[in-house]
Structure 1
Amino acid sequence: MLFELKKYLGGLLLPLPFLMLLMGIAIVLLWFSRWQKTGRTLLTLSWLALLLLSLQPVADRLLKPIESRYPTWRGGPPVEDIVVLGGGYTWNPEWAPSSNLINNSLPRVAEGVRLWLANPGSRMIFTGYSAPTNPVTTAEAGARVAESLGVPRSAIITLDSPRDTEEEAAAVAQLLGDKPFLLVSSASHLPRAMIFFQRQGLHPIAAPANQLAITSPLQTWEKVMPSPLWLMHSDRVGYETLGRLWQWLKGRSAQPGE
């Protein structure tokens, strides 16, 4: 029950649904109340916030500090295990396998395969439970895509029960103990994930994927035109900020080693 409540409330507080809620309240005030000035103010402020969060310079300036905590893995001592955290997915057997990995999931798997190729003889470990209406788990979806890219099934392990990052860390701890391993997740999610994993006494090596905040040159119109792409970047900031707040509320905010 708490898990579902966390998902619903967290989703409602993300930039787009939250600002749409504020706009809805403002419209109600304008049409059905005497608080016209309050409604106009609320509508103006929420519209302005939505506009700013949909602009590339604003969205990526907010996202960059979160994503830049860990550098891309460029090589190091060989490891035996590569843990790829689950993300958004569906499963339609008629689609190309990679089409079933939504948003952050496909870049994570692609980076995991790159690391597997760079560490001969290693295993890929996929995590994540099944959505209520889907017989295929997040972990299995990732495993099937990796297999379609050339990773043999004998080199793949799936952990199908964890529902969130904290549970993923606990499941990996039971499997690997204190062995070092590469931990693959989205660059924005990895700082929070590393805390969960290190708090389990594990020794993960950060391997970020799916970097989104753009610092390379863009066309001028790409910077000044609002876009759902940049709003998605702002959404990642909101999601990770809420996730970090939840982590702190559960008493796990201290950095490892403190």
Structure 2
Amino acid sequence: MLFTLKKVIGGLMLPLPLLLMFIGFGLLLIVFSRFQKTGKSFIAVGWLALLLLSLQPVADGLLKPIEDKYPTWRGSERVQYVVVLGGGYTWNPAWAPSSNLINNSLPRLTEGIRLWQANPGAKLIFTGAAAQTNPVSTGEAGARVAESLGVPRSEIIVLDQPKDTEEEAAAVKATVGSAPFLLVTSASHLPRAMIFFQHAGLNPLPAPANQLAITSPLNPWERAIPSPVWLMHSDRVGYETLGRVWQWLKGVSGEPGEE
């Protein structure tokens, strides 16, 4: 119940639903009250914020400092485990396997396979519980896609009980103990994940995937025209900011290893 409540409240506090509620409140004031100027102000501020967060320079300017915490893993240290954290997914057997990994999940998986190939003999671990109405777990979906891309099932471990990052850390600790491992997740999620995993007494090596904040060349109109793509990048900033607030409320905050 607490997990569902956390997801619902957190979801409503992300940029798009929050700004839509902000604009909607302004409309209510205009239609049903005498506070016309206040209502118009709410609408104007909400519209302007939505516009700015949908522009590439603003969205990626906010996201880049979070993603830059850890560089792409190019180290030579050999590991026994590559851990890929779960993300968005569904499971429709009629689809191409990789189509079932939504948004952040497929880039995590492909980076995980790259690192697994660079570490012969390592086990590839996928984490994540099943969504409430799905008989297939996030971890199992990742494993099936990895199999379809040539990873033997014997080289895969599925941890399909954890519902969030903190629980993933506990499940991984029970599986790998104190052995160093590569921790693969979205670049924006990795700083928060590292805090949970190191506070659990683990030795993760940060391996970011799914970098989104673009600094390489784009067409000029792509930077100037509002797009849901850039709004999604702003959404990641909001999601990770809320996640860090939640860590602080739980007493797990600051840099890894600090209380």
| TM bracket, shorter-chain basis | over 0.9
* Structure 1 residues 47-62: aligned runs within 5 Å: 47-62=47-62
* Structure 1 residues 1-258: aligned runs within 5 Å: 1-258=1-258
Residue-by-residue CA offset, 1:146-166 (whole Å, 9 max, x unaligned): 111110000000000000000
Q: Contact 2:84–2:183 (CA<8 Å) still a contact in 1?
A: yes
- Paired amino acid for 1:104: N
- Paired amino acid for 2:34: R
CA distance in 2, matches of 1:236, 1:132: 23
Residue-by-residue CA offset, 1:8-63 (whole Å, 9 max, x unaligned): 00000000000001111111111111110010000000000000000000000000
Residue-by-residue CA offset, 1:96-120 (whole Å, 9 max, x unaligned): 0000000000000000000011111
Structure 1 runs (4+) greater than 3 angstroms displaced: none
1:254 Cα deviation after fit: 3.2
| Structure 1 runs not aligned, ≥5 long | none
| Structure 2 runs not aligned, ≥5 long | none
- Identity in percent: 72
3-state SS, counterpart of residue 181 of structure 2: strand
Relative to the length of structure 1, the TM-score reads 0.99
CA distance in 2, matches of 1:253, 1:132: 29
Residue-by-residue CA offset, 1:112-134 (whole Å, 9 max, x unaligned): 00001111111100000001110
CA distance in 1, matches of 2:2, 2:133: 19
3-state SS, counterpart of residue 230 of structure 2: helix
1:256 Cα deviation after fit: 2.5
- Paired amino acid for 2:10: G
Work out the number of aligned pairs and report it.
258
CA distance in 1, matches of 2:179, 2:167: 18
Relative to the length of structure 2, the TM-score reads 0.99
Q: Contact 2:195–2:257 (CA<8 Å) still a contact in 1?
A: no
CA distance in 1, matches of 2:102, 2:234: 18
3-state SS, counterpart of residue 206 of structure 1: strand
3-state SS, counterpart of residue 182 of structure 2: strand
3-state SS, counterpart of residue 70 of structure 1: coil
